[in-house]
Structures are given as C-alpha cells and as structure tokens.
Amino acid sequence: MALALVVERALALRRMRIAPPSLVDEVLSLTRQGVPTPEMLNVLASSCVFGMVLAQGLRGILTNPRLGEAGLRQIFEMAGKHAAHQMERYLSALAAIASAAPLLGLLGTVIGMIEIFGAQTSGGGNPAQMAHGISIALYNTAFGLMVAIPSLLAWRYFRARVDGFLHEMEQGCERVVAEWLAPKPASTT
C-alpha cells in the first residue's frame, strides 16, 4: 500500500501538474491586456493546480471588477486551501503507514516470542529450534522497519515538496495581486 501511495503522489506532484515555472509570467502578460475571458479562465483552471488557484482569483475580478485587495486575497486564500488539500491527499495515510509499520513488526515479534517460549516450556526445548524461532520472530521487526523507513522518507519528501509548491503559489498570487492593484497609466487620446 505504501508503494502505491508513493507512486501516486510522485505522479500527482510533478511540477507541470502543480505549478509550471512560467505560469505566473504568462498570467501576468494575459492580465495586462485586461481581464481574461471565462473560456481563457477555464483553460487556465484545467492546466494545473496553480492555474486553478489563479483562475479563481481572476474569476473574482471578472464577476466583481471593483474587488479590492482584501477580497482578492481572500479568494486566493480559499483557492489555495483547496489546492493544499488536493496536494496533501494521501500524505496522512503514508504517515500512518510509516508510524504503524514498526509497531506491527514489533507486535509480530512479541507474539512470535510468546509462542516460542510457550512451546519450549511444555516440551523440554531444543536450543536450535528456539534460536530458529527467535530469528523468524525478529524478521517481523525487520519487515516492519523495511516498510516504515522508506515510507517515512517518502512522506517527508512529499511534505517538503507540497510546502515548496504552496510557497511558490503564495508568492505568485502576491505578484498577481500587486500587478492587478497597481495604478494603471492613464491612456492619452
């Protein structure tokens, strides 16, 4: 299960699916020409997760041209929360696996040790058989750690990746807010 979650998150958290590097510049050049059309916003929203966030803010401007800084920030914040939830999907399950796997391995070891010692007291005991049983019981701990360690490393990697994307999105939204609210030069006719 941990492997399936790692593969799914690796595919889902690719840069081009979340926040392509030139997206903010493209959106800023688009907004310099005015508010994009609803069709353009639909294309932007379907392009990537950050595109969805930016499209939400621009839709807010489209529906309310007098939208102030606080309103625009609130729209971006709400869209950002949705994006964060989308990117963090399955990470809690991966963290749970990383936490529970060593405990399950230890539980298997303890149950195996109880069984070995219970069998030894009733039948006199063979030291070679006891040593073999202990080694098999310890495999449970090893298997638990073999699942937990990569799961924990993958969870930390994806958690840092999501945090990095969220920071990039926040900075990009700040650029859009600053650009949109900047005084426009008066046209001379």
Query: Is 189 a domain residue?
Result: no
Query: Is 188 a domain residue?
Result: no
Count structural domains, the chain.
2
Query: Is 102 a domain residue?
Result: yes
Range of the domain at 142: 91-156
The token pair at 160 is 């840092």
Mean pLDDT over 65-79 rounds to 90
The token pair at 140 is 């449970």
Higher pLDDT, 61 or 188: 61
State whether 127 and 85 are in the same domain: no
State whether 14 and 103 are in the same domain: no
Contact 145, 105 (CB under 8 A): yes
State whether 64 and 101 are in the same domain: no
State whether 84 and 168 are in the same domain: yes
Nearest alpha-carbon partner for 26 in 3, 1, 58, 2? 58
The pLDDT of residue 121 is: 65
Q: What is the pTM of this model?
A: 0.83
Query: Is 187 a domain residue?
Result: no
State whether 80 and 99 are in the same domain: no
Annotate 98-137 with DSSP letters as a single string: HHHHHHHHHHHHHHHHHHHHHHHHHH---HHHHHHHHHHH
135 pLDDT tier (thresholds 50, 70, 90): confident
Give me the helices (H) in the chain, please: 2-12, 15-18, 23-31, 38-47, 49-63, 69-87, 91-123, 127-181
